[in-house]
Amino acid sequence: ANNTVKTAASSHTQGHDPRRGVGTAAMNRAILDHLHFTMARLPALASRNDWYMALSHAVRDRMLDDWLASLHHFRNKELKVVSYLSAEFLLGPHLGNNLINTGMWDAARDAVESLGLRLEDLLRQEEEPGLGNGGLGRLAACYLDSLATLRIPSIGYGIRYEFGIFDQLIRDGWQVETADKWLKFGNPWEICRSEIAYEVKMGGHTEYHHDADGRLAIVWLPVKVIKGVAYDTPIAGYRSRITGLLRLWKSEAVESFNFQAFNAGEYYHAVDEKVVSESITKVLYPNDEPGVGKLLRLAQQYFFVSCSLQDMIRVHLLRSPRLEEFDQTFAVQMNDTHPSLAVAELMRLLVDEHGLGWDAAWKVTRSTLAYTNHTLLPEALEKWPLQLFANLLPRHLEIVYEINRRFLDEVSRAYPGDQARLARMSLIEETGGKFVRMANLASVGSHAINGVAHLHTELLKETVLADFYQMTPEKFCNVTNGVTPRRWVLLSNPGLAWLISESIGEEWVTAPEKLRELECFASDPSFLSAWRGVKDANKRALAAAILERTGVAVDPESLFDIQVKRIHEYKRQHLNLLHILTLYHRIKRDPGAQIPPRTFIFGGKAAPGYFMAKLIIKLINSVAEVVNADPEVAGRLKVVFFPDFNVTNGQLIYPAADLSEQISTSGKEASGTGNMKFSLNGALTIGTLDGANVEIREEVGEENFFLFGLNATEVQALKKSGYHPGRFYEEDWELREAIDAVRSGLFSHGDAGLFQPLVDHLLYDDEYLALADYRSYLECQERVSTAFRQRELWSVKSVLNVARMGKFSSDRSIREYCEKIWKVPIRPPFPH
């Protein structure tokens, strides 16, 4: 323990010693100071939130030295800065993570205890910033952690949504959405930079003028101008003495009040303007919503892209007046197509605002930007109705047309006479209504295009972007996703982290290939029993939370079989349910059946407008109600829907799993990242050959992975030959029994109509081949049951899973982006 007490005053005069004041006594002092000076509270009257705020401010103070030192990089001409453009950053709570990454955990815990409080209570107080939907947003957050840990100068740019992803309540088995008021008690982690603000134009029309020298000048006369203000959040690297920067934009009115407006009508008009301007960053849109073309979402995308690029240009001009060299200052990654307006906006800024010629601007735009694709689902590929695009962004549409004209010229030169190809590759879709195709825009405007798992990238090249791949194969590469072992093991699963570090040392946290050294412990009975002890404790903690939140008592000795992720038909939560129903029937038919007790745990949000996904949630809860109350299966089967799955709840759930459900239709899940979190925490996977499952299985070994189902090629072939789900229903009596139980009203208090849409969907359409994979899934689940009865062997497999998961650290992904795409040197790890 550090006994040197430094007062606030003395540490200020000490200047830039980043290790100052992180001992227990100094932390204690700092917390009390913030309670007094920041929260204006007496200790006796302070609420838990006051203490949480005081502690967080004390921690943030201690991150600032590293932060200011890191900001220095942006001035250094030699260093390229990675700019990660993402409409979503699903960060999860900051406090615990920052304590872990900065090494202040013990001091903070002791300081808090010396004040008569408990650190876990204060950690629970934090409202997590849910500024993302799921995998894509969480990936961005893992990447920020790795960028800071690897000491790569970087900025994450995004949107400061006032309301993040909705909170999910379950009422009568149905999902109910409520607003996520994450800012209601204040956010101690952000710093508002009022002076870093940009104007963003919208709407109106363009005019062409000739200036005095006869040069053509293009003027965009917007109907509205909105201001974007920067809110900065520090991102601590793991013991790297680097603090990365997340810069989120909030929209504001340019002028709050129009003082020229003397009459009341105009005054209110001015106030209305303010309301409209502020609405741009009000709310995060849930994905998987049917129907495209929400004007406000396009406005959000343009707004944050424009602010971010203007900010980058400002930073670049501090280094060099030559915008032709912009690509030496920044490598810009577009996280999906949401920021793909960057292609047109960077062109506009360079050509219209900074006077570069088209060719020079195009060269620098392309060499700066790169595009990551995250999905092959056709309905998820963004396209904007042309009219809507034109109304909001008249100048950008002109630019898109010009890019398209030049691009299609190239295409026709490469493929003379191939009209069909031209139509497919055009940035504008013209069959049945006109649209701007954002994936095409992103592909044309980037020097690199990547998928997020090996299989996904291959399918991308064969299907969605096949024409682009054929024309420019050199642009394509794969970067398999990864997750940060700091949040997803060290913070979420301290028991496991401790056991690993005791056995092989601590280096695995930044060098996860070291986890391989665990392999030799897989034959050590005392290690295996300690390993099981950690899992059991995690399961008991989850069981307690389940009881508290759902009222259902589950047995921590049973097999915890968990599926947590967005609810979507392609992820096939309903296939999981069909297995549960079959087990239920088997036990009822034969009470002596050898089926080890299982607890099935589901979690995940459904898009508010996705009817079928919401019906699946209702069905899970309805099955739970019947199964959990049936004395004939008591102690053998339990079904739970854990409400409001988010990062905080994930941290509790992943470490407690025995079995990880990764059962999407092959070819549909681009990568998955939950699959990595489970396996890294010692769960075994039951899964299809989809997304990153393929690579996980390769790494952990096929004998340590439960594989079932059709592969992507077989899926395509079955669809092509004509898929008739009804046949599977007719030919498999157990499947029929399961489906018939649902349609009989057994789970809906006799209301046979309630789940009819779901049953009909399965029997007559089943786009995602749940029925085709049912039998294979069931057989595989039997292998799981058999394996789970041999606890020792199961534990060996669990250890081997963790030992071989090193590849899936987001540090490895970030290194690959640096090498293959950003051309940023990888720096040696910081000496601890």
637 by DSSP, 3-state: which?
A: strand
Rounded to a whole number of angstroms, the minimum distance from the CB of residue 456 to ligand GLG is: 8
Which residues, listed in sequence order, are joined to residue 706 by a DSSP beta bridge? 686
Size of the site for ligand GLG (CB under 6 A): 14
Q: Looking at residues 801 to 820 of the shown chain, list those that interact with ligand GLG (rule: CB under 6 A).
A: none
Q: Looking at residues 668 to 707 of the shown chain, list those that interact with ligand GLG (rule: CB under 6 A).
A: 669-673, 691
CB atoms < 10 A from the CB of 9, how many?
A: 8
Rounded to a whole number of angstroms, the minimum distance from the CB of residue 675 to ligand GLG is: 8
Q: Looking at residues 161 to 220 of the shown chain, list those that interact with ligand GLG (rule: CB under 6 A).
A: none
Does the protein bind ligand GLG through residue 479 (CB under 6 A)?
no
Helix axes 733-743, 756-764, angle to 10 degrees: 150
Contact region with ligand GLG (CB under 6 A), list: 15-23, 128-136, 411-419, 594-602: 128-136
Rounded to a whole number of angstroms, the minimum distance from the CB of residue 607 to ligand GLG is: 12
Query: Which residue in the list 374, 535, 614, 807 is annotated as catalytic?
Result: 374
588 part of the active site:
no
Helix axes 95-102, 135-149, angle to 10 degrees: 30
Q: Which residue has the tokens 């849409």?
A: 757
Q: Looking at residues 340 to 399 of the shown chain, list those that interact with ligand GLG (rule: CB under 6 A).
A: 374-375
Q: Looking at residues 480 to 539 of the shown chain, list those that interact with ligand GLG (rule: CB under 6 A).
A: 481
Q: Do you know the residue count of the chain?
A: 832
Q: Looking at residues 650 to 669 of the shown chain, list those that interact with ligand GLG (rule: CB under 6 A).
A: 669
Instruction: Extract the tokens encoding 555.
Output: 């047995």
Q: Looking at residues 132 to 151 of the shown chain, list those that interact with ligand GLG (rule: CB under 6 A).
A: 134-136, 139
16 near 36, Cβ under 8 Å? no
Which run of H or of E encompasses 200? strand 191-202
Instruction: Extract the tokens encoding 623.
Output: 């099955």
Rounded to a whole number of angstroms, the minimum distance from the CB of residue 671 to ligand GLG is: 4
Return phi, psi of residue 244, to 5°: -80, 170
**Number of residue whose CB is nearest ligand GLG:** 135
609/757 with CB nearer ligand GLG: 609
Query: Which residue in the list 29, 227, 571, 807 is annotated as catalytic?
Result: 571
Alpha-carbon distances, residue 248 vs 85, 193, 304 (angstroms) = 10, 10, 8
Q: Of 731, 554, 735, 761, which is closest to residue 639 (Cα–Cα)?
A: 554
Q: How far apart are CA 484 and CA 827, in angstroms?
A: 18
Rounded to a whole number of angstroms, the minimum distance from the CB of residue 452 to ligand GLG is: 4
431 part of the active site:
no
Rounded to a whole number of angstroms, the minimum distance from the CB of residue 665 to ligand GLG is: 12
Return phi, psi of residue 69, to 5°: -65, -40
643/672 with CB nearer ligand GLG: 672
Q: How far apart are CA 267 and CA 495, in angstroms?
A: 61
Handedness of CA 98, 103, 104, 109 (dihedral sign): positive
605 part of the active site:
no
273/288 with CB nearer ligand GLG: 288
254/292 with CB nearer ligand GLG: 292
| Beta strands per DSSP E along 403-512 | 428-429, 435-437, 448-451, 476-478
Rounded to a whole number of angstroms, the minimum distance from the CB of residue 482 to ligand GLG is: 10
232/669 with CB nearer ligand GLG: 669
614 part of the active site:
no
Query: Which residue in the list 80, 201, 565, 598 is annotated as catalytic?
Result: 565
Rounded to a whole number of angstroms, the minimum distance from the CB of residue 375 to ligand GLG is: 5
479/754 with CB nearer ligand GLG: 479
725 near 762, Cβ under 8 Å? yes
Instruction: Extract the tokens encoding 422.
Output: 């031209």
Q: How far apart are CA 498 and CA 519, in angstroms?
A: 17
Q: Looking at residues 411 to 470 of the shown chain, list those that interact with ligand GLG (rule: CB under 6 A).
A: 452
Query: Which residue in the list 149, 457, 673, 688 is annotated as catalytic?
Result: 673
Query: Which residue in the list 677, 697, 743, 804 is annotated as catalytic?
Result: 677
363 part of the active site:
no
Query: Which residue in the list 60, 396, 487, 566 is annotated as catalytic?
Result: 566
10 by DSSP, 3-state: which?
A: helix
430 near 328, Cβ under 8 Å? no
Instruction: Extract the tokens encoding 193.
Output: 């930079």
Q: Which residues bind ligand GLG (CB under 6 A)?
A: 134-136, 139, 374-375, 452, 481, 669-673, 691
Q: Which residues are catalytic?
A: 374, 565-566, 571, 673, 677
